[in-house]
Structure 1
Amino acid sequence: MTEHSLYGPLDDVAGEAGYDDHPPRMGFFTDTSVCIGCKACEVACKEWNGVPADDFDLLGMSFDNTGHLGANAWRHVAFVEQRAQDLGMPSFDRPGDGSGPESRTDFRWLMSSDVCKHCTHAGCLDVCPTGALFRTEFGTVVVQQDICNGCGYCVSGCPYGVIERREGDGRAQKCTLCYDRLRAGEEPACAKACPTDSIQFGEVDELRDRAAARVAALHERGEVGARLYGADPDDGVGGTGAFFLLMDEPEVYGLPPDPVVPTRDLPAMWKRAGLAAVAFAAAAAVAFAGGR
């Protein structure tokens, strides 16, 4: 097992949380190259977890009617439309076409089902003052609704902007990776509903190997833009339990390129504060002794 510290590389997140005997870390590998944008994952998530429906909104001309992750969208299928000319690619129009306005074949669709990342070093977990957020035996991060007081600290503690307070309720909401289903030996509802296996559920270590092999296969096919996001244990959150194969830069999908857990510097800050307190106490003692 890799040695780890509070904010260093960490393989055994459940063990670090105090579970002596626990199952392997479980998570998601989302292969966006085979996502068809059907939104079956969104529907399955809402149905199983009782997540309220949002008002219908086409967000302009986009087919994306949810827009982003939030209290009422624990899964969000992003639709990214890219013009061929902006990518430096030739038009995909059929021969003989081109005299009229731009056609839909001049575009490339990128689709990705986004979700809570269940970070190795979870900022939301670090800042929760009530213990409403906890690490499960599967290595995931869950909000206990009966303990959450709606303070909102976790919202600013998430580098991905995933967690949100529900309007009218005030309590924090996000994906639980279907904790109740995991405890019953079942896969999460979204992964079960995905018709193309874009969302793959399993042991995180095995999923990382599978993802690396998939990227290599895409590169051999000439898809040089394929890359993994969130699978690096040396990134700013120590790697994530839900990671992605992207076909373009993270920013294209609305993901931060270099996410960093906001509480990363806490150990160093406490150390400096302790040293300052010791120095202050020493100076006070010297001053007291000199004044006698």
Structure 2
Amino acid sequence: MGFFTDTSVCIGCKACEVACKEWNLVPEDGLELTAMSYDNTGSLGASTWRHVAFVEQNKPLGGQQAHQPHEDLDVLALAAQGSATPVADAAITPTTPGTPTPDGRTELRWLMASDVCKHCTHAACLDVCPTGALFRTEFGTVVVQQDVCNGCGYCVPACPYGVIEQREGDGRAWKCTLCYDRLGAGQEPACAKACPTDSIQFGPLDELRERAAERLARLHETGVPDARLYGADPDDGVGGNGAFFLLLDEPEVYGLPPDPQVTTRDLPRMWRHAGAAALTLLGGVAAVCTLTHRRSR
């Protein structure tokens, strides 16, 4: 199970952030503007399990057409009725790059995206945890058990996305659990439940990947050539993500690494080399002991 986040229909409402905090009792994390546009959280962390990024770009719209106020209301009305497809089609319409907005501007667009822990298929945080506090659930997600975590912090630098963090004054590692308790009760995660435009979609990963591929093809057909999937490929550096995204620009624009790699990928080779070195050392010690014993005789 996992998330597919379609950033092309994200409206930046932050309902996901609020729902995540309310359900998981995540502490508030500042509530102050960070000088990063309307982004008041900045990045994922121990007290920010969902982070809505606001990216203001000085570039042509390139297929994204600004809505008149009444059009925005129509989109939200469709979302409130539970219709995902009309909202998705309404949010992106074919236009010629440089089409002026209602106030005459042609060089400004907003990109919004709700980021979360990626729940990697090959999760380095699992590899380095010495206590077993991090474990893979029956849903394929990665969860931290706070009552087992000893606060060593090994998982923090191991994460290729910089998601995991130790909470100040607590010391233990915290991150998104993909609402493990809700999944066990047959419910969808709180953030997906609260999203008014179905930007955050939850379900079996195979189905989500098919849906994402269809959505991507539709965007390309309607004049959004920069649209791309991020984290959906099982052959990437982390074996594919349990939370993947449809982006409208390069990953770096959203603060995501362009080519993430599992940070423990070299561990098997390192252990083999360490084992060979240990055997060589033991062989040398044995040889010295044998030689010494012969001389003493």
Q: Quote the offset at 1:288 in angstroms.
A: 3.9
Equivalent residue number for residue 23 of structure 2:
48
- Is the Cα contact below 8 Å between 1:93 and 1:106 reproduced in 2? no
1:196-247 alpha-carbon deviations (Å, 9 max, x no partner): 1100000011111111111111111121111111111111111110000111
- Is the Cα contact below 8 Å between 1:116 and 1:242 reproduced in 2? yes
Equivalent residue number for residue 133 of structure 1:
134
Give the secondary-structure state (helix, strand or coil) at the position aligned to 2:201: strand
| 1:1-292 map, 5 Å | 26-60=1-35, 62-84=37-59, 90=98, 92-93=100-101, 106-291=107-292, 292=294
Indicate the structure (1 or 2) with the bigger Cα radius of gyration: 2
Give the secondary-structure state (helix, strand or coil) at the position aligned to 2:147: coil
* Cα separation, 2, equivalents of 1:43 and 1:71: 15
- Is the Cα contact below 8 Å between 1:91 and 1:106 reproduced in 2? no
Q: Quote the offset at 1:290 in angstroms.
A: 4.3
Q: Quote the offset at 1:172 in angstroms.
A: 0.8
- The TM-score, its normalising length taken from structure 1, stands at 0.84
- Residues 85 and 226 of structure 1, relative CA distance in 2, 3 Å threshold: closer
1:114-156 alpha-carbon deviations (Å, 9 max, x no partner): 0000001111111111111111111101111111111111111
- Residues 61 and 174 of structure 1, relative CA distance in 2, 3 Å threshold: closer
* Cα separation, 2, equivalents of 1:283 and 1:206: 57
Q: Quote the offset at 1:287 in angstroms.
A: 4.0
With 43-52 and 213-222 compared, the bigger mean Cα shift is at: 213-222
- Is the Cα contact below 8 Å between 1:84 and 1:91 reproduced in 2? no
Percent identity between the aligned chains? 74
Runs of 4+ aligned residues of structure 1 deviating over 6 Å after TM superposition are none
- Structure 1 residue identity aligned to 2:215: R
Q: CA RMSD in A?
A: 1.8
- The TM-score, its normalising length taken from structure 2, stands at 0.83
Gaps of 5+ in 1: 1-25, 98-102
With 36-45 and 281-290 compared, the bigger mean Cα shift is at: 281-290
Give the secondary-structure state (helix, strand or coil) at the position aligned to 1:106: coil
- Structure 2 residue identity aligned to 1:120: T
1:19-72 alpha-carbon deviations (Å, 9 max, x no partner): xxxxxxx10000001101000000000000000112221112611111111111
Higher share in helix? 2
- Residues 236 and 60 of structure 1, relative CA distance in 2, 3 Å threshold: same
- Residues 94 and 185 of structure 1, relative CA distance in 2, 3 Å threshold: closer
